Amino acid sequence: MKTIDMLGQPCPIPVINAKKALAEPGADGVTVLVDNAVAVQNLEKMAAGSGYGFSWKEEGAGRYIVTIVRGKPEGGATAEETAQAPAAAPVTGGLVVLIGADHLGEGSDELGKMLIKGFIFSFTQLAQPPEAMIFLNGGARLTTSGASTVPDLTALRGMGVSILTCGTCANYYGITDSLAVGAITDMMDIVNRISRAGRLISV
């Protein structure tokens, strides 16, 4: 099995290179060396989305060995689950909301910070909630502990909305450990989701 050294590589490079390695003719899996837990999570998401087996172990501080194998993983997804995994990426028709700041609109940031909170609350009032809400850059602050938007986002998650925060962004602001709702994701997943979305709102 091929091993690729992704130590020091920023998100989403490890995921892209792991996919490339898995796409090579005859590849039965790939071993990926990464240096952060978010990269491990992103590789796990990619593996789960493709129905691949996944395992990892930490070997010393800041060094993770991730193994992704084609086919049924040991103790992982069942063959039935694997069969149900999407082979392609069809348009889902759902609404995806991309939030790239902790304020809404330009002008007054003070007003914008109030507006974004009212904006997020208003999605809880929709009969048909979005499929996903994705938080990038300063928007990552809205999903972390202490943000007054967390209860509304938790309610939206309860309504079936995927609440996703950009891992690179959370890492940049040093708030990865204080994520309070939803999950961390990577740029590949974000681009996959917006490319499949029926409608996209970007603010």
Partner 1 sequence: MDMVINFANVSSAIAAEQALSQAGILAMVMPTPSSVQAGCGFCLRLPPQSLDAAIERLDSDGVSYSGVFSRSVEQGGDTYVPLGAFAAGGV
* Sites of contact with partner 1 (CB under 8 A): 110-111, 114, 117-118, 121-122, 125, 148-149, 151-152
Q: Which is nearer to partner 1, 77 or 104 (CB)?
A: 104
Helical packing angle, 187-196 and 37-50, nearest 10°: 40
Instruction: Please report how close the Cβ of residue 114 comes to partner 1 at its closest, in angstroms.
Output: 5
Q: Which is nearer to partner 1, 39 or 163 (CB)?
A: 163
Which residue, 36, 35, 21, is CA-closest to 69? 21
Q: Which is nearer to partner 1, 85 or 114 (CB)?
A: 114
In this structure, are residues 164 and 189 in contact, taking their beta carbons and an 8 Å threshold? yes
Q: CB-based contacts of 10: which residues, under 8 Å, 6+ apart?
A: 168
In whole angstroms, give the CA distance from residue 190 to residue 135. 10
Structure tokens belonging to residue 110: 């003070």
Which residue, 36, 34, 4, is CA-closest to 19? 4
Q: Which is nearer to partner 1, 42 or 149 (CB)?
A: 149
Instruction: Please report how close the Cβ of residue 193 comes to partner 1 at its closest, in angstroms.
Output: 26
In whole angstroms, give the CA distance from residue 89 to residue 147. 33
Instruction: Please report how close the Cβ of residue 149 comes to partner 1 at its closest, in angstroms.
Output: 7
CB-side neighbour CA atoms (13 Å) of 117: 12
Instruction: Please report how close the Cβ of residue 123 comes to partner 1 at its closest, in angstroms.
Output: 11
Instruction: Please report how close the Cβ of residue 1 comes to partner 1 at its closest, in angstroms.
Output: 50
For the chain, the C-alpha Rg in angstroms (whole number) is 18
Q: Which is nearer to partner 1, 152 or 189 (CB)?
A: 152
Q: Which is nearer to partner 1, 40 or 104 (CB)?
A: 104
Token pair 């990619």 in the structure block, residue: 46
Which residue, 176, 163, 161, is CA-closest to 11? 176
Instruction: Please report how close the Cβ of residue 111 comes to partner 1 at its closest, in angstroms.
Output: 7
